[in-house]
Structures are given as C-alpha cells and as structure tokens.
Structure 1
C-alpha cells in the first residue's frame, strides 16, 4: 500500500492526516499469511498492529492442544497482547491470521515515544481500550448467561457474513462449544 492509501485506511480508525503521517513514520506495512501466527503464545510482545485488511483471532492453547478462541479481530481494529506488552511479560494467547492479511506494524517503544509527543495518541488509546473493554464485557456476559443457541444467533447478528470467513471449528471455539454442538444447533435452526 502507498502512504496515501495507508493514510486513507487510518482515517477509518479516526486518525487525522497529521497524526497518520507521524504514525506512518514509525511503522511498516506487513503481510501476514493465512494460518501464520503474528504473535506466538509465550512470546513477549514488542509490537502492535493496525489490522488494515484481513481477519485474525486471539487464541489460547491448553496443554492438550485444545484451542479456545478469545476474540475475532476484523479490519479497523488494533492487534496487541497489550497487557503483556505493557508489563513485558509473555503473552498468554497467540494472534493468528485467519486470512491473508495486511497490518500496519508499530514497534512498542516507538509507540510510547509517539504518545509522549502528542496527546491525541493518549485519547486514541483510551478510545481503543474502551472499545475493547465493552466487547470483552459483553462477551463474558454472553458466555456466562446465555445458552449456546442464543450465543450463535447473536454471533450471526453481530457479525453478519463472518461465519463464511471462519471454519466451523473456530466459530464453535469462539462460542465456547464443541463443533458437534454447533452442528446440532445449525441443523435445528435450518429445520
């Protein structure tokens, strides 16, 4: 992508042209192939990224190799294991590309310097953290209070068309159920 194209995409994040230029000066555009891990579990993150194009997930792996999809990250969202990056500790989850994707990668130390030079970035960070907090709070509430069928129906409403971009195993993992249970729910809804 050219800088003009990147600036246009960053505008979708609500970043004005001057701030976009500052961000582009410290970042680089990176391609991430489908199934590639942008961040491995256990890695200490040194970077974050703006998802320009593609689809990612945050995924936990248990000792038996079972996967638990924490989040699905669409375009115009930030990719980061922020608490691990902030504390310079290993990330508990991995960030995996689910499609061939394009991100704008920002080194964490450069990000900190940028934030120190312009108050806009503190406000931007607060807005991104608030957005993430609201998503996390709703997801926790849904997992605790709703049955699997209702969670699936809500998923279809909240993310129209996303089920066509994900495997059924990942949809089931996101919903906190087994693929066989999702199959039964889908069959019941179709009949």
Structure 2
C-alpha cells in the first residue's frame, strides 16, 4: 500500500484524511505466476496498481497464436476503460509472468474517492499521461526496425524485464521467432 501512496504523491498532494480514505478503500491482491488479472470477454470490475511483479498483455490472433502486445511492470496503474462508469469488457488478457502484488479498488470505491478528493482526477490524469507517453516511447520504432534493432531497443526501454520475462514472450512482443531471438542474443554477446 505504501508503494501506491508514495507513487500517487509524486503527482499531487494529499492530506492524511485523504490518504486514510484511499487506504480504507484499497485491498491488496496477490497473483501467482500465470494467474489472470483479467480475461478477454469478462467485464472488468476493478482498478489496479502493480506494486511488485510483471504482467503480460496478450491476445490470440486469427490463427489462435498468442501475441504479446505489452508488458506492465511495477508502479503502473491498470485502468479499465476510459471512464470509471464505463462497462469495460477487454479483448485482451492480462496474465502474471511472475508472482505479482497489486493494490486494487472496486470501480465504485474508485468513483467515491474521485468524488470525495478534490484534485484526485488531476492526479490520475497526470499518471495516465505519463504511462501513455512511456507506452508510445516503448512501442515506437518496432515497425521500422529489424529484429536485432528491436531487441536492442527492448533492452534499453525495458532494462528490468530482460531477465524476468521468458524469451517466448519477448520474441512474441518483438514479432520474431524464438529461434531468431536466440540467434540475435548470441550475436550481440
């Protein structure tokens, strides 16, 4: 919980009463490796903040192959939909790559925090904008780069994930085969 509050405080000020309200509404959730945080086709009913671990965002293409779209690591807010009132049914899966710890809020509790704490929405907008910029920076260039450039870019943009994420997921994210990625890694070292 402390990690979440510390993170939030980087984007705005909260007094003790406001922090107490937030912590009273939050609960901690542990996911074991391979557990789903959410599944395609199932309505999302909570908002989460990843305090420990790595989650993979993936979907199945029309051939039934898993395609990794993104990785979520520590200190990232996992929102569901554009507004808290929106009924959000994702087309993707969020699955724990490692054991994970999250701070989660029901959508109703999140809405109550938003309606009670003046400036909460501004704090969340700042966090969302930061995460959006990071995502664009991390995904940028993947289309125009060859496999080696993509992998080198991945190492630079996700330095803490290289040794925490299975090669099969990294190769899927980069759009290369696992054998190609093994060759690339061998040629780099």
- How far does the alpha carbon of each residue in 1:134-158 deviate from its partner, in whole angstroms, 9 at most, with x for none? 1232244322222221121111122
- Say whether residues 1:13 and 2:12 are aligned partners: no
Gaps of 5+ in 2: none
Number of aligned residue pairs: 184
After superposition, residues 1-191 of structure 1 pair within 5 angstroms as 6=1, 8-15=2-9, 16=14, 18=16, 19-83=18-82, 87-190=86-189
The alignment's C-alpha RMSD in Å is 2.0
Q: Deviations over 1:67-98 (max 9, x none)?
A: 12222111111123434965314201111111
Offset of residue 64 of structure 1: 3.3
Q: TM-score, normalized by length of structure 1? A: 0.86
Instruction: Map Cα deviations across residues 12-65 of structure 1 (whole Å, 9 max, x no partner).
Output: 313346343221111211111100001011111110111111111111122433
SS of 1:69's partner is strand
- Could you report, residue by residue, the CA deviation over 1:138-186 in whole angstroms, capped at 9, with x for unpaired residues? 2443222222211211111222242111100011112222212211211
CA contact (8 A) 2:34 2:97 kept: yes
170 and 163 in structure 1: CA distance in 2 versus 1, 3 angstrom threshold: same
For the 8 Å contact 2:44–2:89, the answer to whether it is kept is yes
Task: Give yes or no for contact 1:53–1:75 (8 Å, CA) kept in 2.
Answer: yes
The structure in which a higher percent of residues are helix is: 1
Q: Secondary structure at 1:128's aligned position in 2?
A: helix
- Residues in 2 aligned to 1:23 and 1:112: alpha-carbon distance in whole angstroms: 11
- Give the structure-2-normalised TM-score: 0.87
Change (3 A) 1:146 1:85: farther
- 1:47–1:143 CA distance, 2 compared to 1 (3 A): same
Which stretches in structure 1 are left out of the alignment for 5+ residues? 1-5
SS at match of 1:49: strand
C-alpha spacing 1:71/1:21, structure 2 compared with 1 (3 Å): farther
